[in-house]
Structure 1
Amino acid sequence: MEDSSVCGECNLKPWKYKCPGCSIRSCGLPCVKAHKQRTGCTGKRKATDFVTLSHFDDNLLLSDYRMLEDTKRVAESAKRMRDQICKNPYFKESQRSKLRAAAARGSTNLLFLSSGMLNRERNQSRYDNRSKCISWTIEWRFHSTDVVIVDHGVGEDTSLCSVIENHLKPGPWIHKLKPFCDVDLFSLKLFIQKGAKATTFKELDIKASLRKQLAKVAIVEYPVIHVYLPSQSYDFEVIRDFYQLNTTTPDPNGSLYYSHGDTTEGKVTSREEEIEEDGR
């Protein structure tokens, strides 16, 4: 029969300490360390373990009290951190509701992310009751570059060209957006995704206001506009609902022509393709 009066680790000396985690008896620090290394015990009592009333004492009461204090401290710390991360004066619940309602009146489906998400924190779009106008946050993504530019406070009646030209002012220096600065501003192609998971993009009219162009588009937090050079190709389906003046290739009569979207098929069709089909 095992002697309960001696150390449970060395079985030589009388025990002095009882491990709160596994209740093993030890005679001193070397045996305490040895039993932790052998068994993997942390030396701490599991705060959620069931203890019968007959074994409950002042030490267990104090341990439970400390556990509750620690839980409260962690919860309050997490709340302060969340409030700091998600602190954004533009996004009180009532303001989000007004912004969503104003967007819906323009046939725009505005969706919001959960608190703490990067785009949620970055979004400063808001609805002004006095002017009855939305001021959008806009993200510009330039194709074939890693350049991402964010504008805040862009009124929905502002034309896209007046916003993007601030980032594309030509100069002698070499930078990542120089190819976009070297072409005619109005020849740039602007696209916005039709929905959060949609594979179809809507081509935007760079001369038109933002209000008209966001109709029938689902936006997550704020508009993300993809900018392409005239020479760059794209591998997604495009919907175009505006007439665009094309100045790159004149027609046989020397006059300018317009390219337009074929609304029956939902694909982009240029006049050159129509002439080619008629000639067959």
Structure 2
Amino acid sequence: MDSSCNGVRDKTEFVTIGKFNEMHLLSDYRFLEDAGRLVDCAARDRLLPRQTSNKFLNFMKNRARKHSIDLKILPIGFAKRKMNSTYFHKKEQRFYWHVKFQFPQSEAEYTEKGVPDNKILHKILERYIDPTESDPVIRQRLQIYTSSPSGVKVFMVLDQKKLGLGRYVELDLQKSLLDNLHNKTVIEFPTLCVVLKDFAGDFATCGQASIC
């Protein structure tokens, strides 16, 4: 047995036409999608403000407070502080949020940057779980969601040690991200847990307020 084998196929390995099958096609498609996504993320990152001065962070907190959002900024060195790409667009007078999505029934997580605060929550989720509009690669990973007849519920994580254990507040799919964050505490950026309705009872909620 080759001890150097890690069980993962080399995505750039040459495969003859005779041996090329649907699994190779799907793998190549995912490889191209991943490459495209990395290029897109790199381009977006160059456009996103990266100010970390106290003046800028206080400005962000004050703007959030005007929208009745209690934005907490962690000290330098914390992982969430380092990865947070949220910024406030002065001309548009709008937040563009860094959002983390958890899909516990598929054991999957995704991060999206630059989510406008006026976008309706169910529209934000389209690229993940819509049966026709979602990203094909993501759709394959989240198949249990895209094929579920019962639909989903979305909870914002208030604190969490592991999925299902912590405090959550249910959000309204028909409201904007801004409206959903109203009167809530956000530590750096929102983490949203997307749950099939059949499993929603496993998540302890704290009502509409962020304190419980």
TM-score tier by shorter-chain length is 0.5 to 0.7
- Tell me the TM-score normalized by structure 1: 0.49
Match of 1:206 in 2: 173
The runs of 5 or more residues in structure 2 that have no matched partner are: 1-48
- Give the drift of 1:156: 0.9
Find the partner of 2:74 among 113, 124, 132. Answer: 113
For the residues of structure 2 that align with 1:236 and 1:150, how far apart are their CA atoms?
Answer: 21
Q: Which residue of 2 aligns with 1:16?
A: none
Pairwise CA distance, 1:109:
1.2
The corresponding residue for 2:157 is: 193
Which residue type is aligned with residue 182 of structure 1?
S
Cα deviation for residue 196 of structure 1 reads 7.8
Superposed displacement of residue 127, structure 1: 1.0
User: What TM-score results when the alignment is normalised by the length of structure 2?
Assistant: 0.63
Counterpart code for 1:188 = V
Structure 1: how far apart are the matches of 2:51 and 2:123? 24
**Unaligned segments of structure 1, at least 5 residues:** 1-87, 242-262, 267-280
User: How many residue pairs are counted as aligned between the two chains?
Assistant: 155
Per the alignment, residue 94 of structure 2 pairs with 133
- RMSD of Structure 2 on Structure 1 (CA): 2.9
Write out aligned runs for 1:80-95 (5 A).
89-95=50-56
For 1:160, which of 121, 124, 131 is the aligned residue?
121
SS in 1 for 2:201: coil
Structure 1 match to 2:42: none
SS at match of 1:206: coil
1:167–1:226 CA distance, 2 compared to 1 (3 A): same
* Residues 74, 187 of structure 2: 8 Å contact kept: yes
- Whether 1:102 aligns to 2:63 is yes
- Give the 4+ runs in structure 1 shifted more than 6 A: 171-174
Structure 2 residue identity aligned to 1:95: F
Offset from partner CA, 1:201-220 (integer Å, 9 cap, x none): 21111121011111221111
Does residue 181 in structure 1 map to residue 142 in structure 2?
no
1:221 aligns with 2:199: no
Bigger radius of gyration among the two: 1
For 1:135 and 1:161, locate their aligned partners in 2 and report how far apart those are by CA, in whole Å: 17
Q: Secondary structure at the match of 1:140?
A: strand
1:240 Cα deviation after fit: 4.9
Q: Is the 8 A contact 1:112 1:220 kept in 2?
A: yes
Deviations 1:1-58 (A, max 9, x none): xxxxxxxxxxxxxxxxxxxxxxxxxxxxxxxxxxxxxxxxxxxxxxxxxxxxxxxxxx
